[in-house]
């Protein structure tokens, strides 16, 4: 399987750097058919300020990434009743053949029934505004909950949701054609978050790579899949204070179980892997 992935990636290496300069043209075409607010903002952000292409074998680059370890600060499954124990073990997180692999395994550690990994740039790379994107292939199976998201860098002082959360992409493993993007803040968090799903009309998110991104500026966050602008969130859309005006850091993780996806069932096979081709941030 990895040989095929590597072959596909080699082709992408030639072309993917050519996609971004044409983003403005593509996005303007998409806006005409996008069911979003007419105040849509389209920008061209070409200043690459952070990128990880995952081209070095082994552990993720420690100058960019660190880890959350365990079952959450309160041992409660990170506030979501998740079932995994996050580790920094190579079986759960490693770089191989130019991809970051985050793997969920069925094994018991410290009372948890599964292991997985959660990477973050907290204290290393944090940015206010810009374009954040990643190219990812999803796993498949009920109870799997991969995500690519941002958390306010003041979360140690202003507890969630006061610090703000920007979910660039969340995915439920038994719904392979749909992802969703949302924001959480004071007055609009958890089940009351503001967001929107995006569904593929052809294909599935677990059978191919797709680019998930946002463009974030003062008073707006635009959501994209493969250059398709599918939602915009502004202060007028939320039922509370807009808290997206300070630096945020990046998190990439795969949870197992929890309030949103429910538990794995007898048809969920393990191990399951979230495959990340790259992460890039522009200003």
Residues with a catalytic annotation lie at 165, 170
Q: Which residues contact 269 (CB under 8 A, 6 or more apart)?
A: 141
> Taking CA 242 as the corner, what is the angle to CA 237 and CA 246, rounded to the nearest 5 degrees?
135
CA distances to 15, 20, 38, 99, 199 from 115, in Å: 35, 36, 44, 20, 29
Sign of torsion over alpha carbons 155, 159, 165, 171: positive
**Residue 40 and residue 247: Cα distance in Å, rounded?**
22
What three-state secondary structure class fits 265?
Answer: coil
- Whose CA is closest to 70, among 12, 110, 27? 110
What three-state secondary structure class fits 7?
Answer: helix
Sign of torsion over alpha carbons 28, 32, 34, 35: positive
**Residue 110 and residue 80: Cα distance in Å, rounded?**
17
DSSP secondary structure letters along 100-168: EEEEEEEEEETTEEEEE-EEE-TTT-EESSEEEEEEEE---STTEEEEEEEEETTTTTS-TTTT-EEEE
**127 strand-pairing partners:** 248
């Amino acid at each position: 399987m990895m040989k095929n992935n590597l072959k596909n990636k080699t082709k992408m290496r030639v072309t993917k750097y050519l996609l971004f300069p044409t983003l403005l043209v593509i996005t303007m075409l998409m806006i005409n058919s996008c069911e979003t607010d007419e105040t849509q903002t389209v920008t061209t952000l070409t200043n690459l300020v952070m990128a990880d292409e995952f081209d070095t074998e082994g552990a993720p680059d420690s100058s960019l990434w660190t880890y959350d370890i365990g079952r959450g600060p309160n041992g409660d499954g990170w506030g979501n009743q998740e079932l995994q124990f996050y580790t920094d073990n190579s079986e759960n997180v490693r770089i191989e053949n130019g991809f970051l692999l985050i793997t969920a395994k069925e094994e018991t550690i410290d009372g948890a029934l599964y292991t997985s990994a959660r990477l973050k740039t907290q204290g290393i790379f944090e940015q206010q505004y810009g374009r954040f994107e990643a190219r990812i292939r999803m796993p498949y199976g009920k109870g799997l909950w991969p995500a690519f998201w941002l958390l306010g860098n003041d979360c140690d002082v202003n507890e969630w949701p006061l610090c703000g959360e920007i979910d660039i992409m969340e995915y439920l493993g038994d719904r392979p054609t749909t992802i969703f993007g949302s924001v959480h803040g004071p007055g609009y968090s958890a089940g009351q978050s503001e967001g929107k799903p995006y569904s593929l009309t052809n294909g599935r998110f677990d059978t191919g790579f797709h680019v998930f991104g946002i463009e974030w500026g003062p008073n707006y966050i635009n959501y994209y899949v493969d250059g398709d602008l599918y939602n915009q969130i502004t202060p007028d859309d939320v039922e509370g204070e807009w808290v997206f005006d300070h630096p945020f850091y990046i998190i990439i993780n795969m949870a197992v179980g929890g309030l949103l996806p429910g538990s794995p069932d007898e048809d969920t096979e393990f191990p399951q892997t979230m495959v990340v081709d790259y992460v890039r941030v522009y200003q």
